[in-house]
Amino acid sequence: MAKIKAIKINGLRGVREPLTLDLNKKSILVYGDNGTGKSSVTDSFEWFFYDKIEHLSNEEIGRRKGRDALRNIFIPETEDSFIELTFDESKLDSKKSIDSSLKSFNSNETDDFKKFIASSFSERLILRYRDLVQFIIAGKTDKLKELQNIIGFSEVQNIRDLLKRNGARIARNIKSANYDNLKNVQQSTILENLGQNAYTDEQLFDGANELVKPLKLGIEIKSRQDINIVLKKIESKEDSELLNQINFYTKIKESVAQIEGNVDNIYNSYSTFYDSFNALKKAPEKVKNLQLLSLLQEGKSVLTKDVVEDDYCPLCLQEKSKIDLIQDLNLRIEELELLNKEKEQVDNNSKDLQNSIKPNISAIEGLLTEKLFEKEEYSKLKETVEEIKISLNNHLDESKKELTEKLADKEKIKLDKKGVEELTSELVKTIKKLTESKEANLKFKTYTKLFQSAKAYVEYLKIEKEQNVLANQQATFELLYEDFIKRQEEALNVFLTMFSNDINDFYTTMNPNEKVEDIKLVPLKKNDELVGITIEYSFFNETHTPPIAYLSESHINCLGLSFFLASVKAFNKESKFFVLDDVISSFDRSHRYRFAQLLTTRFSDYQVILLTHEKEFFELVSSEVKSKGWILNNFKWTKDDGTGIERGIADIKDRIKKKIEDKNTDGLGNDIRVYTERVMKRVALEIEAKVAYRNNDINEKRMAPELLDAVQSKLTKASKELKEKANIPKIKGMPMFIGNTTSHDNSFQESIEDLEAIWEDVKGLIHNFYCSDCDKFLSFKFYDNVENKIRCGCGSLKFDWKR
């Protein structure tokens, strides 16, 4: 797994001049006040891996994945902005640049790098404060979606939905086609003509042989080919007109009989649609509110993407906690989504109704194109058929009505079943009459009956085959769906159990002895369907859910952080690093310290980039993380350079050593002065040497002479022994310490030998106050009240001290 050796950023977001973080695979704690550009690092990082900056991808800033706001506005058009990452595996090193036309390109185009970037999409690399509690306060459906997204189960859910949807669609098609009715219609034609039903070839051949027996043709029908031979033999061209008439009536009879068999089905479909439609209409306010769903969803997006950064409602501008607002929106959205599901059910019922009607309408439309209908003698029949079509179309019109409209009463719109039955019966009689109108002509009668029954039998087989195919397909999808959900649920349960253990572990590590334990992610089901995920935990042995109702904001944040860290362990397979950007804002002191310990102990094998704008947190955990090999950095922002790094004490010391080694006097005096000022400030703090009050930031700008004077004055009162050893006046008399704020940066010309001597004296001075064994300064924190001595942390450095 990869770790980062260095990050170099130039011209991105707040970074104007090149910013380099040499990490050498180490974790880093970065402090920077608000506006110093910490987030520029996070944003650039996000762009490098995900090719977008989510919180900048909105209407206000530009929807081009945040690229519009990516380049620093002071970067010349001719210059590319970039972020360059080097890794311990050099094959992954890459520089991602963006030019002034917002075209971006990567220097590394190898498959290894592409694979690495692709895998980062399923990894958890960045957590910002604004995203910390998203999962915790999300509704159950969103929780499921979010979790499925990050564990790569969205595709699983897609496949599951596809299997279910197709199974249900086939079932609906079977129901609306009403195959049994269609088969009955064909069997009734066979019965009318053959005097018996024919469900098999044998039954058809038996009936056919009985039918043709009086003709004494000397042919025994044993196949459908034989039927064709017999039909050809007894066919008469003279009777074609009559035959056309019989075929015409038969077609009409079959279509009307289909409708007759479908009347109850259509009535039931209409009733289901009618009832669900009116049930939804009973809550007009709710229905009206459905129109707000997209507005609320957009509002939530605005809040979660931090378009509005402070705690107020962007619509009414009243003060309100952002977490509370998002939580309120989640509840309202969830309620409306439930209502939307009801609406979808009404829509589905409407579609079912349409599907049960449309085949009948198509059949009638086909009939109405028959040539014989153009003749006057059939006009009455045509009118009757058209009336049925109008009645069917009325149902269709009702199915398309909006919720604001009123549906026709079920009983009033109902198809006239009796009328349809009478028409079928009338048509059967007509066909019989026509068939037998040439009673003397046995051949014609036999031909017509054999022809109609053979045709109906073929149609019957076709319908049955279609019905079987669809039934098999439906059964297949249902069985596959069952198998698939078992696999999905098993995998999800394994994941949730292990994932919950990690979350619980991290949370209880940060919140020991608080009686909140056994935190679990629990799947929620409705009608055997996975509909969401909730968080359960035990509080004084009682199970509670959801967490937002009982936990404080700080605890909810802890839970969010635990969730992220558990995700890192679960999903980061290629990247052994992650960024935490200002995630501890709402934590109290004890949580902060435990959080730092959690990172240094449980994530010691990871590379953590921890950014904070809280000085107190930075100071609280600095020694903890530094002792574990972390790098510490301060960010600063200047008008000319934008975001940059403020040199730390350790950096300055290294620089001084390097310059002395290289015999380089350039700026060496200033470096020694700055270093002395930084250390003496710390000394003054630890021994409580008083300096004059200065307001806010000016307080930070203490000059060496002032600090040295303050320490000397304190030593005069408190410790003669230390005063003599430290010999502050010797240091104070050195050239670089004679000056004031305005001359702070004035350099002076000394030889390298002089500077080496000064550096040795400064080190000597500092060694009186700082213990390298325990890495601690002399401090009142370690004051020995028995011996009246001031000590370092381990006690190897101690002096008499009068309090």
Length of the chain: 803
> Is residue 506 within 8 Å of 561, Cβ to Cβ?
yes
**Minimum distance, C-beta of residue 149 to another protein, in the bound complex (Å):** 10
User: Which of 359, 344, 341, 345 lies closest to 395 in space, CA to CA?
Assistant: 359
Question: How far apart are CB 519 and another protein at their closest, in Å?
Answer: 16
What is Dmax (Cα atoms) for the chain? 146
Number of helices followed by number of strands (H, E) in the chain: 26, 19
The amino acid at residue 172 is R
Closer residue to another protein in complex, CB, 476/538: 476
d(CA 611, CA 428): 87
Give the 3-state secondary structure of 311-347: CECCCCCCECCHHHHHHHHHHHHHHHHHHHHHHHHHH
Whether the CB-CB separation of 759 and 731 falls below 8 Å is answered with no
- Shortest distance (Å) from residue 383 CB to another protein: 35
CA–CA separation, 675 and 660 (whole Å): 14
CB atoms within 10 A of CB 127: 22
According to DSSP, the β-strands at 770-771 and 776-777 are antiparallel
Q: How far is the CB of 121 from another protein (least distance, A)?
A: 12
Min dist CB 740 to another protein, Å, is 59
CB of residue 146 to another protein, shortest distance in Å: 14
- The residue among 495 and 783 lying less far from another protein, judged by its C-beta, is 495
* Rounded Cα gap, residues 256 and 264, in angstroms: 14
28 pairs with which residues across the strands? 609, 631
| CB closer to another protein out of 311 and 490 | 490
Q: How far is the CB of 362 from another protein (least distance, A)?
A: 17
* Least CB distance to another protein at residue 494 (A): 6
Q: 611 in helix, strand or coil?
A: strand
Choice between 224 and 438, CB closer to another protein:
224
Closest separation in Å from C-beta 503 to another protein: 11
- Residue 218 DSSP one-character state: S
Taking the least distance from each CB to another protein, the nearer of 223 and 751 is 223
Q: How far is the CB of 506 from another protein (least distance, A)?
A: 12
Q: In 556-599, where do the E strands start and end?
A: 577-581
Residues 107, 95: Cα–Cα separation, whole Å: 5
CA dist., res. 329 & res. 298, Å (int): 10
Residue number, 104 or 154, with CB nearest to another protein:
154
CB of 7 or CB of 492, closer to another protein:
492
Question: CB of 574: closest distance to another protein in angstroms?
Answer: 13
Least distance between another protein and beta carbon 508 (Å): 17
Q: What angle do CA 303, 306, 310 make, to 5 degrees?
A: 85
Nearer to another protein, 122 or 247 (CB): 122
Question: Nearer to another protein by C-beta: 234 or 470?
Answer: 470
Q: Which is nearer to another protein, 228 or 340 (CB)?
A: 228
Q: Whose Cβ is closer to another protein: residue 462's or residue 658's? A: 462
- Nearest residue (CB) to another protein, 385 versus 454: 454
The two structure tokens encoding residue 651: 């950096």
What does the binding site for another protein look like in residue numbers (CB under 8 A)? Answer: 122, 148, 151-156, 159, 162, 165-166, 169-170, 201, 222-226, 228, 458, 462, 465-466, 469-470, 472-473, 475-477, 479-480, 483-484, 487-488, 491, 494-495, 498-499, 502, 566, 569-570
Would you call 221 helix, strand, or coil by DSSP?
coil
Strand (E) or helix (H) holding 634: strand 631-638
Q: How near is the Cβ of 228 to another protein at its closest, in Å?
A: 8
| C-beta separation of 355 from 233 below 8 A | no
Closer Cβ to another protein, 295 or 498, answer by number: 498
Query: What minimum distance in Å lies between the beta carbon of 460 and another protein?
Result: 12
Nearest residue (CB) to another protein, 331 versus 498: 498
Q: How far is the CB of 433 from another protein (least distance, A)?
A: 32
Least distance in Å: CB of 212 to another protein? 16
Which residue type, as a one-letter code, is found at position 166?
Answer: N
Please give the Cα distance from 580 to 564 (Å, whole number): 10
Q: In three state form, how does the secondary structure of 717-785 look? A: HHCHHHHHHHCHHHHHCCHHHCCCHHHCCCCCCCCHHHHHHHHHHHHHHHHCCEECCCCEECEEEEEEC
Spatial distance between the Cα atoms of 752 and 763, rounded to a whole number of angstroms: 16
Q: Which is nearer to another protein, 151 or 792 (CB)?
A: 151
Across the beta sheet with 798-800, the strand order is 779-784, 789-791, 798-800
What residues form DSSP beta bridges with 644?
636
Which of 61, 156 has the CB closer to another protein? Answer: 156
Instruction: Name which of 647, 492, 500, 645 is nearest 562 in CA terms.
Output: 500
Question: What is the distance of C-alpha 43 from the center of its chain?
Answer: 19
Rg value, the chain, Cα: 43
Cα(568)–Cα(480) distance, rounded to whole angstroms? 33
Q: What's the rounded Cα separation, in Å, for the pair 366 and 368?
A: 6
Residue 164 dihedral angles phi and psi, to the nearest 5° = -70, -45
Q: Considering the complex, what minimum distance in angstroms separates the CB of residue 222 from another protein?
A: 6
Specify the residue, 56 or 503, whose C-beta has the smaller distance to another protein. Answer: 503
Interior/surface letters 196-228, b for 16+ CB within 10 angstroms, e for the rest? ebbeeeeebbebbeebbeeeeeeeebeebebbe
Residues 595, 602: Cα–Cα separation, whole Å: 10
Q: In the bound complex, what is the minimum distance in angstroms from residue 595's beta carbon to another protein?
A: 20
DSSP 127: E
Output 458 or 774, the one with its CB closest to another protein.
458
Cα 526 to Cα 169, 351, 521, 532: the distances in Å are 21, 24, 17, 9
